[in-house]
A and B are shown apart, each in its own frame.
Chain A
């Protein structure tokens, strides 16, 4: 079994890999990175078109065109695809922000999931694992570090930088680093995992989504 990962950045994929591995026992090599990746060749890059094909735009584009999604799902062991979104820029994509009440996190998650399914033009929700991080995925990592609810943390990345002892602007996200700093999702006891989940609703929702889809599949 393999899980494809469409994420806004490589570092986001690392967090997703640790969370799912911890829950299911899958190995890092069971995850297939699909996005982000370089869209252009070195010639394009020299001509100024070298941006990484990632972020919200890339994910939206992929959902509408389904190049990587179909590639992956057409393979016999291509069973699930985790799709990641940070909600921080969601307003730009026509998603009205719900009221900031107790259900804010859950309502925003549902709005984004509906948007994704709209873009896909097909209900693939049974094979998709929605990694919708309210604001930023760094807020999920903060749950491993401090005992407080990170959902409403204003600038999660800055706080993470501070909590990890980096000087401002010095935390440069990359896959290996984020794999290391989110490693506890993979290695900690279920007791501790529960604690982390209680500190961020959107993290908990993702965890439950994986649990309800992947775990039964693995047990079959």
Chain B
């Protein structure tokens, strides 16, 4: 048996994993980052539009601060998030972006003088002051009070990923790609690393570490129509689930993005609408103001996605061989703007659809339709990133539910979360690795390796008539149809039943090639059962949650039900022979919230079943705020009184801003 020992093991080499790896390495730990693919090819690269951080440099973001970012994040989450975590996040985001600037991310900068912009489909002139020129610029994104999204044209994720990956190479983080973690090694409720399959040689090896951090991204590929890369299969969450000890949080909270292009599913960034692009129906009519007079195209993603489908259901979709769609019109922004700031979008339209979106009029409209985009759910952790039930297992980024997005994530908050969580959790994770030793015996490690070895042999020996690709496709279609944007009890129950059947069928397949090396069908055969377990967590969690909150929308329970459902769903798989997950709940404590539940400010009104404590806590918050304001306390002191939070390193220090008095 090959055992690789290290101090800190990070599984997943996207932005979150790499940043956590840098944190651990900088604390003197021998750190290994494992990745399915060369790390610079991670799905983080696909984040086009930008990263939210309340710098407040440019004209339209002047006056921005952590408080506004916090409020937008909590409202966006439909009060499902952990507010302490949201605070930790918004406080660190400006530091993250400044750190990245120092690592060479070429953020688009403020340009002195006047420029034309399209706001609410009208040409407007914005003038930037000379003293702000050269600072980091920001653009508009859905669901935010200020223009807060910092960017590098429309390749933000790419430049961030290269910046962080290069920094990891500089610090000699041991990055090993084409390695897939297939199970976690654990004993006495503590995680000691992972059994890993080398995707080139097919060999199984053990990685034993003082601490393990999973940063494998989301589980979008359990759906058919998704913007996610093909590697986003939720395997990190699945191997945590398969320990029987770690829990997953809010797996039913799945976001659908309004504007992937049809039919390929490649995302056209939120920046399209942020910069002033609009949505049109079959008649060319701009319909969003009819539904959302205030926020229009820039309401939060769950709202825009549902309004688009609603409008299509009202007979206003554009028919096509791939079903009905909506038009996205960015031609009104002008060719110059598109060719500078939305170039990747233009390229995608040209290459995959033969459309130049800068062409004026209908010729430039791109066909779009809401598709799965982001997984709010993931491995349930404390605010420090450590699993609440399996010691030594950490998780960060989209793979985790720590939980800053609740039931809906704001545009620009995910790529921001990756690096911020990598900084915060990476440091807590490193501290854990500094304080704990490896105490597991090699015989136990061998047992975990043997289990996986036997499992692969079992798969190759199956002699059934089912086909693993067909099972996977059926799962994905089922998730789209019954666990998608609009859900109801009947469909969800059917989905759970059929997914359970599909999980059983994965043992009735026949893998044609019996090679253990370079065998793509074998890889599907061991991944799809794990994906099905994740899909079952999503579907069963959705079936049980009889309310609508954020992206989880039940047509049979239209209201957000704070009285009964202000909680986090936990799914676990305590017995390997179970065929559906165990579901339990964790209440959110209103009395410790800085911002008690209220109306989000967009979407339909009067759709909340209120919790009796919301009003009580709001009165407390108001009283404390007024009293402290009268005493001359500043916003930081008031915030600390309402809901204190901690951060590692110097991340708790105040963020300097150009607008500071």
Decide if A and B are genuine partners: no
Residues of A with Cβ closer than 8 Å to B?
none
Residues of B with Cβ closer than 8 Å to A?
none
